[in-house]
Amino acid sequence: MQENRHGRRRRIVVVCALALVVSAAAGPASAAKFAGAFMENGGGARALGMGGAFTAVASDASAGFWNPAGLANRQTRELLLMHSERFGDLVDRDFVAFAGPTGWALLGGESGGFAVSLIRLGIDDIPFTEHLADQLDEDGDGRVDDPELYRLLDPEFQDQIRYKSDQEFGLLVSYGERKGGWLVGGSLKFVRQSVGDYSSLGIGADLAAMRPNLWRSLDFGVKLQDITTTYLSWSTGKNEVINPAVVPGFAYRWGFPEAKMAVILATSVECRVEDRGEADQWAAGDFSFNSHWGLEVGFSERVYVRGGFDSGFESADLTAGAGLVILPLTVDYAYAGDTLDIDEVTHRISLSVRF
């Protein structure tokens, strides 16, 4: 019973910490370096199970996010639905995508495909505490540190907490086309965020390319994310930007026909001209990087086992997953570790149907 109470207390503090961060995001003094972070993990349980190393792999309906160039080879229409509970059930995240081939090619290529994707992140019953900052700041240093944050558990503060919700949406309209040995593509994206009484709107674009069989069975992919710099305009009059990122990736494929087995080893790196400090795996000056590593083993094109590392090599960065194909249905599951060190992991399930 004591452990359960301790877990609930820690959960309350974590949510309160999230509230302070979210509250600051809508306020006039916050930094914009994490603007639009709710879109960073994309969609689809297959990609997460492979540690997010999907830039050179993306070919299903989730390609609109990971690499829209991968849509160029679409042969069928596909609907993908995903639900994810991050850090236990603190954060709900949903992804819906519809993709299909086109009967035309905008750039005069051999084939084309499109996708429409929607990302939603929601946090309900967020305790907003910005109006309590002066009372919590016992040492008068102008900030609320962790020991002071724990004072929110005292009864004198409980009745003063205001509960609101956070809803964040990203809509992507994507297109990919084959031109010779290369696949090229792009996404136009629209962002809508609402945090309590605050809201924002933004628009941006991604460009991408993919080269299957660059060398033997080695595939190459690259995404120029937020290439135009995505601007977010808040109802408070404050503007934020999502800075560009370059995400190159490679994937090597092995086929074992005798065993009816196929293996993919993949990697990708998010490169940002932005110092995000300890939030990223490596940071040096104005540059920061996150690496992603993934492995997928398929049996008879029906059963898949996956594993990877997402932005680090600690146990908390470990991901795993599995997939089952019973045409026209595909069910995928993924697990991600406890990156916040709060004894809460992430579970992601996706279901897709091709027709």
In the prediction, which pLDDT does 51 show?
A: 96
Contact predicate 176/139, CB 8 Å: no
In the prediction, which pLDDT does 6 show?
A: 44
Question: What integer is the mean pLDDT of 152-181?
Answer: 82
| Overall size of the chain counted in residues | 355
The fraction of the chain above a pLDDT of 70, given in percent, is: 81
In the prediction, which pLDDT does 18 show?
A: 47
Residue 131: is it exposed, middle or buried by C-beta count within 10 angstroms (0-12/13-18/19+)? exposed
Domains and CATH numbers, the chain: 2-354 (2.40.160.40)
Question: What integer is the mean pLDDT of 326-347?
Answer: 81
CA angle 84, 50, 53 (to 5 degrees): 110
HSE at residue 64, side-chain half, CA atoms within 13 A, is 31
CA separation for the pair 101, 109 (Å, rounded) = 13
In the prediction, which pLDDT does 341 show?
A: 54
pTM (global) more than 0.75: yes
Question: What integer is the mean pLDDT of 33-41?
Answer: 73
Between 28 and 271, the more confident residue is: 271
* Model pLDDT for residues 204-259, shown as the tens digit of each residue: 999 999 999 999 999 999 999 999 888 888 888 888 888 899 999 999 999 999 99
In the block, tokens 């995508």 appear at: 97
pLDDT of 186 above 80: yes
pLDDT of 92 above 80: yes
Contact predicate 233/200, CB 8 Å: yes
In the prediction, which pLDDT does 25 show?
A: 42
* Model pLDDT for residues 111-146, shown as the tens digit of each residue: 999 999 999 988 766 666 667 777 777 777 777 777
In the prediction, which pLDDT does 33 show?
A: 55
Residues with Cβ within 8 Å of residue 156, at least 6 apart in sequence: none
pLDDT of 80 above 50: yes
CA separation for the pair 118, 42 (Å, rounded) = 10
Question: What integer is the mean pLDDT of 158-178?
Answer: 84
Question: What integer is the mean pLDDT of 9-22?
Answer: 45
Between 4 and 161, the more confident residue is: 161
Question: What integer is the mean pLDDT of 167-178?
Answer: 95
In the prediction, which pLDDT does 274 show?
A: 79
In three-state secondary structure terms, 311 is coil
CA separation for the pair 344, 90 (Å, rounded) = 9
